[in-house]
Structure 1
Amino acid sequence: MKSISGIVLAAMLASGCASQQQQGGQSRMPPADRVVVVKEVGSFHVGGRQMTLSGLPEKELVFSAGAAPRRVNPNGDFEVGQMYVQYIRLDAASRKGRYPLLMWHGGGLSGVTWESKPDGQPGWQSFFLQAGHDVYVSDAVERGRASWARYPEIFETEPVFRTKQEAWELFRIGPPGSYATDPGKRQVFAQGTQFPVEAFDQFTKQGIPRWASNDAATQAAYDQYVQKVCPCVIVVHSQGGNFAFNAALRAPDKIRGVVAIEPSGSPDPEKVDLSALKGIPFLFIWGDYLDRATLWTRASQTLERFEKALQQQGTDATRIDLPKLGVHGNSHMLMMDRNSDEIAQRVQNWLVAKGLSR
């Protein structure tokens, strides 16, 4: 018997795809009339360690208006360095992917990256569920529902918050100097943008503080996540790229493919032996205006060396530069751009070509 939640979720996925297909006349693949049945929705935390604090002063705090104050003791045991994962698994008849897709977000962001887009349209989580994949969406250490820890007692550095201007320019929605507090005065690239600029302020509500000192804990949590869930295919964005590449180096038997959406970092092929990655297919996708921001000029050059090193050792590594295919205006947030379904379909086609989906 199908659960009520499974029926409801199947209907939501189908109707969400139909609504996007109607907007702007852009077709959405898979077809909107394909209904998938969800078998299970769940979540878990993975990674982390216990830390004990002592010697900190107690405080008296009021936690709710009108409530009596109570004394708080910050000393004791804490669980820190964990990450959060939500999964949606399909029933056997709906599943076309051979392995679950693990979606890893970028810096200053969370798993929301893959959920509904800031303009209200369905995101890649919905797309790939509709395409027949079990989908796992995570919040890395310090982000979202993974939670964070005290500074400076546990996290060694202070949190860093991204301004709207940094997001506008770093994510290549507009050129340097084009952001304005007044939305009506913001300027996009003269050639246009695929990012839905009317939803930019909504997008920046997703911003989450990040720390510069937690890479080791984050990598450890990702590695434990891979051991718990995989074999799998990783779909990764931006800062998450280096974590995914290193996770694959540590557990090449667990990773069946890596889809890297504008990764911002990678292992140095002159310092790291990449031979463990030889049997894993890689797909790299890049948007537009990479030459308009110094960070992305450097990042894309660094990643190009990584990609070439993979190819030279015989790894199946494919690079898609969207502008070279006549697809222009894509920002760093490819999965949120207006043509995100077109890009997702290219990923799905690659998954099918590599035998990772039907």
Structure 2
Amino acid sequence: MSEETSKPLRRQLAAVALAGGLMTGAAAAEPLGPLTIARQGSFFVGGRSVASDTLSTLPAYAPSGTIAVDQVYVRYQVPVEAKRPPVVLIHGCCLTGKTWETTPDGRMGWDEFFVRAGFPTYVIDQAGRGRSAVDPSAINAVKTGKAAPETLPPVVSAGQEPAWAIFRFGPKYPEVFPGMQFPLEAQGEFWKQMVADWAATLPTPNPTVPALSELAKTLDGAILISHSQSGIYPFQTAALDRAGIRGLVAIEPAACPDPAKDDMAPYRDLPILMLWGDYVELAPRWAPRLKLCRAFVEAANKAGGKAELVLLADVGLKGNSHMLMQDRNSLDVAAWLTAWLDAHVPPRKP
């Protein structure tokens, strides 16, 4: 995008930010006034009950009983006189809904930004993560000798050193990309957000997918905004059932639908945005994924879709890491995204 072409877009970004009661740039670190909401709360979607006789190995707790698993925790805030569609924020690997909350260095998170901008905002913990329960039965079955050790579930924790390159703070630990926007002075707080990831132990499709479908229908229309590992989930949700889905935003998705294998029909006439940060072509893990997502956008649009792939550097937002919702310019990115949503997923007429 040329400098001349990008000027109207930047003016639109600034106008959207001001309309939402926020400033762009460095001044965006603090809100201009109190946060006023109509209501807030939490609930679960999805889930099923399972009976097990290996729920506990502690004498004080019975080993047999019924538990709920595969449910998805949802926290929400609804602004007064909400003027934009609901958004659902879906975190990635080894993280929880904390991804979207206050940044590691204490600035406003996207959950608050979108509420201030007039979006009812729903933040989830994926199935098997955070406040969404895991099933301990397989572990306890091995501990009590009822199952072989090789049946233990494959649980993953991401080490800080390898995660450094995955999150594109730099090419390898502890090197830093020049101009990179993530607040590394607060990296200690960021690493505390990392949790064990049970995704590989869950059914296929991941239970988060049908739960997102249920949530979108409950909200009578929502924009699904995913990140990284969860990037594919909104596409899988649309393939399962388009009902309730008003738009998809995949932020640096770990996978996109494969035009060589997947049906493009579910994405016809659906506003879709793939949003990418900086240094992607320098990252062996991410460059092939960007290439596949570009192929998806081309195939989806040939099938009647409304898909778009945007590199933030091409619209004047440079230096973004994989954790672009926590970077120093995160509210500028959120304001740009709000402008895109207004242009492609306008509010319903009363």
TM-score band by shorter chain is: 0.7 to 0.9
Partner residue, 2:148? none
Greater relative contact order (Cα < 8 A, sep 6+): 2
> What SS does the aligned partner of 1:192 have?
coil
Q: Does residue 171 of structure 1 match 2:167?
A: yes
Write out the 4+ residue segments of structure 1 that deviate beyond 6 Å after TM superposition: none
**In 2, Cα distance between equivalents of 1:208 and 1:305:** 32
Partner residue, 2:282? 292
Superposition map of 1:181-330 within 5 A: 187-189=175-177, 191-211=178-198, 212-214=200-202, 215-216=204-205, 217-330=207-320
> What SS does the aligned partner of 2:337 have?
helix
Question: Match of 1:137, as an amino acid?
Answer: V
Alignment gaps of 5+ in structure 2: 1-19, 142-150
Number of residue-to-residue matches in the alignment: 316
Question: Match of 2:272, as an amino acid?
Answer: F
1:349 shift after superposition: 0.6
Partner residue, 2:144? none
Whether the 8 Å CA contact 1:82–1:146 is kept in 2: the answer is: yes
Gap change, CA 1:156 and 1:231, over 3 Å in 2: farther
1:52-103 per-residue CA deviation (whole Å, 9 max, x = no partner) reads 112678533xxxxxxxxxx3222111111111000111222xx220x21111
> What SS does the aligned partner of 2:296 have?
helix
Whether the 8 Å CA contact 2:96–2:193 is kept in 1: the answer is: yes
Partner residue, 1:141? 127
Gap change, CA 1:158 and 1:321, over 3 Å in 2: same
Whether the 8 Å CA contact 1:34–1:130 is kept in 2: the answer is: no
Q: Does residue 349 of structure 1 match 2:344?
A: no
**In 1, Cα distance between equivalents of 2:56 and 2:72:** 29
> What SS does the aligned partner of 1:318 have?
strand
Question: Match of 1:149, as an amino acid?
Answer: D
**In 1, Cα distance between equivalents of 2:338 and 2:347:** 8
1:266 shift after superposition: 2.1
1:34-64 per-residue CA deviation (whole Å, 9 max, x = no partner) reads 666311111001111111112678533xxxx
Q: Does residue 91 of structure 1 match 2:80?
A: yes
1:227 shift after superposition: 3.0
Partner residue, 2:10? none
**In 1, Cα distance between equivalents of 2:288 and 2:185:** 29
Question: Match of 1:305, as an amino acid?
Answer: A
Superposition map of 1:4-43 within 5 A: 26-28=26-28, 32-33=31-32, 37-43=36-42
> What SS does the aligned partner of 2:138 have?
coil
What TM-score comes out, normalization by structure 1 length? 0.81
Superposition map of 1:47-196 within 5 A: 47-54=46-53, 59-60=58-59, 71-92=60-81, 95-97=82-84, 99-150=85-136, 152=138, 157-176=153-172, 178-179=173-174, 187-189=175-177, 191-196=178-183
**In 1, Cα distance between equivalents of 2:73 and 2:56:** 30
Alignment gaps of 5+ in structure 1: 1-16, 61-70, 180-186
**In 2, Cα distance between equivalents of 1:113 and 1:337:** 11
Whether the 8 Å CA contact 2:109–2:326 is kept in 1: the answer is: yes
Cα RMSD (Å): 2.5
Whether the 8 Å CA contact 1:35–1:130 is kept in 2: the answer is: no
> What SS does the aligned partner of 1:295 have?
coil
Identity %: 35
**In 1, Cα distance between equivalents of 2:307 and 2:224:** 14
